[in-house]
Structure 1
Amino acid sequence: MLALPGRPQGAARDVYVIDHNFSRPDSRDRYTLLLLNAALEASSARYGAYELRRSPLGMERDRLLSEMKKGELVNLSAQITSQEWERGLIPIRIPVDKGISGYRISLITGSKQAQFSAITTLEQLKRLPLGAGRQWSSTAVFLHAGFDVAQGNSTAGLHSMLAAHRFEHFPRGIEEALFEQAAYAPTFPGLEVERSLAIYFPLPRYFFVTPGQPRLAERLEYGLRQLIADGRFDQIFHDFYDELIDKINLRKRRVFRLDNPLLSPQTPLANKAYWYDPFDHK
């Protein structure tokens, strides 16, 4: 429990119950928890003490949305946005990871690297079936763009499908691709991160708060804006992601850009400070 120093004992605290995914070992969730703590600390002078608790249950996305609406088992989650989530909850429309979730690199059978290296157009890429989760926001983007999408119910299931050659590649966020390649390679020795391409579409991941506790959303948004204003948001992002960005050579990949027709009109696409651009060398 983290409290503002000097706050009287017994004073009311803002209690955030975060979803079980924050306990996972992959880097995305460690980064998000780091940013969350920094934002809440940055808001402490104005809003006082707070407490972070973890929901005891792991839930798939649909169940998590249902429980988030109630606000009993969980009241805060960081998720790739969707219209359903934005309608049912309070979205804080500041991309948690500066939109880097929208850069997708693929996991493939390593022996097929030459096939991917030869791709120079989006139409060529669309001819190769890809795998994606049934409930994922990215799946609808791929389908709308005209990709052949084999859908699975879980990440583990999709890795099994890739190993069985049910599709040719499995687009993932950069941290997911590196983490999962290491995790699944012992049972799928041919699994590799594809080296030449990336797919990009705007796909912000936001903090969402249960609709019955607007103060929690107001406080967290205030803290995030404080971090942006003093440069700490960018510092946290670059401290965490620059090594991953370099490791997968994002700046040297051919990037195929897709539209995302599912985004809310309120998506802050015009605010360049909110989005990471690997090709902006300022």
Structure 2
Amino acid sequence: MKLQQSLALLFLASLSSIACAAPLKVAGIPDDKKLHLTLVKEVVKRSDRFDGIEYIYAQTGQPADTRLQADLESGKLDILWTATSTDLEKRFIPVRFPIFRGLLGMRIGLIHQKDSQLLSSVQSKADLMRFKICSGKTWPDTHILDANGLVTAQSLKYPNMFEMMLAGNRCHFFARGVMEPFAEVAYHPELPLAVDSNIMLRYRMPYMIFVSKSNPDLADHLLEIMTEIFDEGLYEEMFFNDSEVKAVLSQANLDNRVIIELDNPYLTDETRSIPERFFYNPLQP
């Protein structure tokens, strides 16, 4: 009789769990192969809180960041993914798992084709101060470069920076995330663009998932599952099998560059304390 009662209680508990499960509301589209969605799909598969994923902008198209953030606060969205900032961490709760394992804070330069050896003598931040770096006027990266005493030439308009760099009188190279410059060279065959092969700037700018301030238990739940995925070794497989990451590692030659370490003064102490093991270091075997 006791065994029957125990089985009945287990059955009722499982029904209750199923009844409480709901879809996780996210941006993006179902067939998106981006690394952050690959991770989210695995998290949902392992969680007893969700019965699937709802892509709330699948029919209308993804809105601007300001709308995404407003929808997260209102509960229309459950999570959003973006590069962190102190302002975002005041407004939302970050799930402190760096999805791109630090690649977002690795910057390499677009240069003029004739300047392939322009940066070959750079061995330190002091050496780099001889050069002007093109960057967006409102970009977080520009604020980091400025805070480190580097010389920047800024523009509000992204296309202008190609002209500024190629003209040779405004800046020497255009600092880009490691995932960006090779695609830009391919996209602009009419321009004499090349990717510098000598140096890489590196600072911490984790790309993380954020949840509403009203949902701290969700942040804890997501981090627990993400840590489990990482500790099993599955996330390393996801990371190195991601098409964008593969392209970067095959083209950027990161382990043969001089790395110029920069400080990001716009990180919270909590984000600075993210375990080092979560980050990818191209200089480690």
Task: Give TM-score, length-normalised by structure 1.
Answer: 0.81
Return the match for 2:261 from 257, 260, 271. Answer: 257
Change (3 A) 1:156 1:219: farther
Q: Deviations over 1:64-122 (max 9, x none)?
A: 444543443x4432211100001101210111111121211111112112211232332
Return the match for 2:124 from 108, 121, 130. Answer: 121
Change (3 A) 1:136 1:39: farther
Return the match for 1:276 from 262, 273, 280. Answer: 280
Amino acid at match of 1:97: F
Return the match for 2:270 from 251, 266, 270. Answer: 266
Q: Distance in 2 between matches of 1:206 and 1:133?
A: 22
Does the aligned pair in 2 maintain the 1:7–1:49 contact within 8 Å? no
In structure 1, the partner of 2:225 is 223
Change (3 A) 1:237 1:259: same
1:167 paired with 2:171, answer yes
* SS of residue paired to 1:114: coil
* SS of residue paired to 1:278: coil
1:15 paired with 2:24, answer yes
Return the match for 1:47 from 49, 58, 62. Answer: 49
In structure 2, the partner of 1:3 is none
Shift in Å, 1:136: 2.6
Change (3 A) 1:85 1:100: same
Does the aligned pair in 2 maintain the 1:42–1:226 contact within 8 Å? no
Q: Distance in 2 between matches of 1:154 and 1:11?
A: 47
* SS of residue paired to 1:175: coil
Q: Distance in 1 between matches of 2:71 and 2:238?
A: 30
Q: Distance in 2 between matches of 1:170 and 1:23?
A: 34
Amino acid at match of 1:143: D
Q: Distance in 1 between matches of 2:126 and 2:277?
A: 32
Shift in Å, 1:127: 2.3
What pairs up with 1:157-196 in 2 under 5 angstroms?
157-165=160-168, 166-183=170-187, 185-188=188-191, 190-196=192-198
* SS of residue paired to 1:124: helix
Change (3 A) 1:220 1:35: same
Shift in Å, 1:213: 4.2
Does the aligned pair in 1 maintain the 2:17–2:49 contact within 8 Å? no
Q: Distance in 1 between matches of 2:72 and 2:157?
A: 21
Q: Distance in 2 between matches of 1:159 and 1:62?
A: 27
Shift in Å, 1:132: 2.1
What pairs up with 1:75-224 in 2 under 5 angstroms?
75-165=78-168, 166-183=170-187, 185-188=188-191, 190-214=192-216, 216-224=218-226
Q: Distance in 1 between matches of 2:100 and 2:205?
A: 10
How many residues end up aligned between the 2 structures?
266
Shift in Å, 1:278: 1.1
* SS of residue paired to 1:149: strand
Larger radius of gyration: 2
Change (3 A) 1:98 1:171: same
In structure 1, the partner of 2:240 is 238
Q: Deviations over 1:172-222 (max 9, x none)?
A: 221122222222x2342x111111110111111111123344454344323
Aligned residues: CA RMSD:
2.9
Amino acid at match of 1:78: W
Shift in Å, 1:142: 0.4
Does the aligned pair in 2 maintain the 1:162–1:168 contact within 8 Å? yes
Q: Deviations over 1:34-55 (max 9, x none)?
A: 2222222232xx3241223153
Task: Give TM-score, length-normalised by structure 2.
Answer: 0.80
Q: Distance in 1 between matches of 2:238 and 2:42?
A: 9
